[in-house]
Each structure stands twice: as structure tokens, then as C-alpha cells.
A and B are shown apart, each in its own frame.
Chain A
Amino acid sequence: MSVCIVEMPSYTYAVKGEKLLRARGYPCEINRKERPGGGGCGFSLVIKRNYPEAIGVLRAYSVPYTNIREGGD
């Protein structure tokens, strides 16, 4: 199963997003950004299912993110 990797601008927003999603039943976890290229180091929020809805929650609460990509399980 693929997962959705949401690259976050900071740890602070990663954990804010994680708490919002977990409170609404979306399993997710914070990882250190796997590929530091592009913007450099950072944190990702790995969403394990229902990610279109989960991304909608982040948007609804104005939680900023820098990139979204699919990743392996």
C-alpha cells in the first residue's frame, strides 16, 4: 500500500498536522525528510490512508506544507 508523504515547513507544523489528523482518525506519523534535496532538511508527515481527505483537513485548518508525494509502504 502506498502512503502519502507531506513535506512540512517545520517540526512544529508537522506535529500540529499530526495531532489534527490523529484526532480525526487518520493514521499518520512524523518522519525526518527522506530526501533532503530541494529545500534541504526538514520533516514529513506520512499519512497512511484516506490521504485526499486528510490533506483536506490540513487545508481546512491552514496547516502549511511544502510538497506532497506518494511513497512506498
Chain B
Amino acid sequence: MPVNFDNAATTFPKPESVRRAASAAVAQLGGNAGRGGHSLSMKSSAAVYSARETIADFFGAQPENVVFTLNCTHALNMAIQGIMSDGGHMIISCLEHNSSTRPAATLASSGKISLSVADVYPDDDMTVESFRQLIRDDTKAIVCTLASNVTGQILPWKRIGKLCQKNDICFIADGAQACGIVDVRMSDGINILCTAGHKGLYGLTGTGLLISDGKYTIKPIIQGGTGTSSADLSQPVLLPEALESGTLNIPGIMSLKAGVEFVSKIGTEKIYRHENAVCSRFISETERLPGVRIYRDISAQYVPIVSFSIDGISPEAATAKLSEAGYCLRAGYHCAALAHNYLGTENGTIRFAPSIFSRESDAAALAGEIKKLLTK
């Protein structure tokens, strides 16, 4: 079995409880949630609501404000396009994933919005000031990742949330690399939290979340059947149905509920500590190797992701060799082009990303394989 150090893309393996929940949903939750009044449908509906409650409790939200999506990209597109549909100015950070950058850039290039990009620094004061300086009278939203998917750098999201509150700006947070690893609460000043269900929350692929605090109306980008008010040709306005047209991914949602319960039981602090220890071991084994460059700054904080490069070997070539040796790591731009301008990594990087199931001994063995690459 290969060793997965690409958990920032999707966590694998999944916890046993997650696998069981998905399997039980396929076997037992055969009705379409929120659609019919028969027993199968009502059972599925109740199960989906229980998942909303579990997730709402985890993030400090109301169950009805938990919207199930296909992934974090889906959630961010809904949030960005739904908030900015009437125009205005938006600010994103230079570390955003393309799931934010592309919808923002598309709106900007079509002339519907104006867009600014805030620089990020290892020093949080400078990062917050960078956002503050870009705020205008017509600034409607700030979109900011909680942690970079390239380097793992944690952004000062609570301070950015306060900045948004002070200026009546909608704060759309991308929690894909932070949720399940660090404590994220809606009370951190987040108006709309978008995250993946299949990364640090350990659900199946095909799951994501948009969680609102209810303050801002998100105009739906997809409309259709919601199981209610069917005679009305206009889309319902209340969450979650306003943003949940079409049949829900019930096995995925039940896997996500189990994943959140798994994370809650262990605790994010313990998960962070474990994964960080694996990263520390990897860094200690590789940082002194000639030709290995690790993209971390001593004054910044990071989630358990390590981005690095090896002189003379492209990231793709290196990860191909490491894959042959049994180690799965991601190479390239990691779908975050702006971040590589910031880092100066025109060929991309290699990303090491452990999960709660990763072992320090595997990180050390991986470092041994990297050393072999350098001596060839």
C-alpha cells in the first residue's frame, strides 16, 4: 500500500467510522431527502438534518445555515458569485486557490466587479495592513484562505474577520486546509465559511460545505427542485434549500457527519499536534540536504503542510520517482497560481501533507528516498 502524503488534496485512508457510515447510508437511506412524505424519504431527511446539526455544532453555526455542496470549489463559487452578483469591489489574498481566484478574475474581466489582491507576509500585522489599505467605500467582500494550500501558511483570519466587521464587509473564508486541523468557528468573524468535506473533515470525495452566519443573502447560481414550494417558479430564498437544488449526496453527507464526529472525538488540537510532529520530522530530516529548499518562514505559522523543491529535479520528475518508491506527494502549482508568484517558484513545488494516520517513521523514510534522488 502506498504511503499517502497528499492529504491536502484529499485525506486517505478514511476512518473506519466514515466508511461504515457511507456504507450504511447506501444500504439504508434509500429515500430522497426532503422530497417525499413516505418513510424512506423521511428517514433520509432526518439523517441529513442530523448531519446539519453535527456540523453546525462543530463550527458554531445554525443547522439551517449549513449548505451541502460538492466540494470547496463549489461552495466558493456559490459564495463569490452569489455575493458579488450586483457588482462592487472585492479583495482576495495572493495565496488564494484558483477556486477563489478564477471566479473572482472572471467577474472582474467581464467588468462586473473590481478586484484587488492583498499581499501576504510572514508578519501578520503586515498582512492585515495589506488588506486594510485596499478597502474602499464599495468593497463588498474579502475572500481569504485560512491557510495556504501551497505552503500551509496560516493567515490571521480572526483579525481579517474583525476588519470586515468593522467595515461592514462580507468575509468569505476558504477553510479547505484549516478545517479539522485548527479550530475554526463562525464567531471568528466569518460570514461565509467554505470548506471541503473530504480533506481534514475526513468525509468522502464529492462533499463540501458552505456555512453562513445568515447576515448576507447569497444569490443562487444553480436553481431547481428543492422539494418545497414547487408551484412557485422562483427559487426559495431560505437556506439551506435556496442553495441546495437537486438531490443531495446522502452517502457523502453521512460520511461527512461521521468524519466531523471523528475529528471532534480526537480534537483539532491533538490532530494538529500529531500532524505537525510528522512535518517537523520530515523537515528535520530534509532541511540540511543540499539542494532541498523548504518554503517556510520562521516568523509565520503553518498548518501541517510542507512545500519544498529539489535543485536540478522538477517537482513532477521528483514525485514520479517518489511514487515509484511508494510515496504519494503532489507536484506543481497546486491550483494556486498567485501563490507561486509570491513564492517565486515558477516551476511549482512538491507538497508534503500528512493526516492523522501518518507516521513519523514514514516521513523519515521518505526523506531517505529524497536523499537517494540527490545522489543520482
Contacts and interface: CB of A to CB of B under 8 A. Distances in A.
B63 A11 contact: no
Contacts of B46: 15
Interface in A19-37: 30-33, 36-37
B64 interface: yes
User: Considering the complex of A and B, which 7 residue pairs feature the smallest CB-CB distances, nearest first?
Assistant: A32-B37, A40-B231, A40-B230, A42-B228, A11-B34, A41-B230, A39-B229
A72 interface: no
A45 B46 CA distance: 14
A41 B228 contact: yes
**Chain B contact residues: over half helix, strand or loop, or mixed?**
loop
Nearest to B52: A12
A10 B37 contact: no
B33 to A, nearest CB: 7
A52 to B, nearest CB: 24
Contacts of B230: 36, 39-42
Contact of B238 (A13, A15, A32, A36): A13
Given A36-B231, A41-B227, 10 more contacts: A8-B228, A9-B236, A10-B228, A10-B238, A11-B33, A12-B34, A12-B49, A16-B63, A16-B64, A41-B230
Given A9-B238, A13-B238, A32 B229 contact: no
A25 to B, nearest CB: 20
Q: How large is the interface on B (under 10, 10 to 19, 20 to 34, 35 or more residues)?
A: 20 to 34
Interface string B225-240: 0111111100010101
15 contacts: A9-B228, A9-B236, A10-B226, A10-B238, A11-B34, A11-B228, A12-B52, A12-B240, A15-B45, A15-B46, A36-B231, A39-B230, A41-B229, A42-B229, A42-B230
Interface in B40-60: 42, 45-46, 49, 52
Interface of A: 8-13, 15-16, 30-33, 36-43, 64, 66
Contact of B231 (A15, A38, A43, A64): A38
B326 to A, nearest CB: 46
A26 to B, nearest CB: 19
Contacts of B246: none
Nearest to A34: B37
B250 to A, nearest CB: 13
Nearest to A41: B230
A36 B46 CA distance: 21
B36 interface: yes
Contacts, number: 66
B6 interface: no
A12 B241 contact: yes
Contacts of A16: 63-64
A10 B34 contact: yes
A41 to B, nearest CB: 4
A39 B230 CA distance: 7
Contacts of B63: 12, 16
Contacts of B49: 11-12, 15
Contacts of A39: 228-232
Given A39-B231, A40-B228, A42-B228, A10 B236 contact: yes
Contacts of A11: 33-34, 45, 49, 227-228
Nearest to B237: A9
A40 B229 contact: yes
Nearest to B225: A41
Contacts of A32: 36-37
Contacts of A31: 37
B169 to A, nearest CB: 25
A36 B228 CA distance: 9
Nearest to B44: A11
A15 B230 CA distance: 19
A13 B226 CA distance: 13
A66 B33 CA distance: 21
Nearest to B38: A32
A66 B226 CA distance: 16
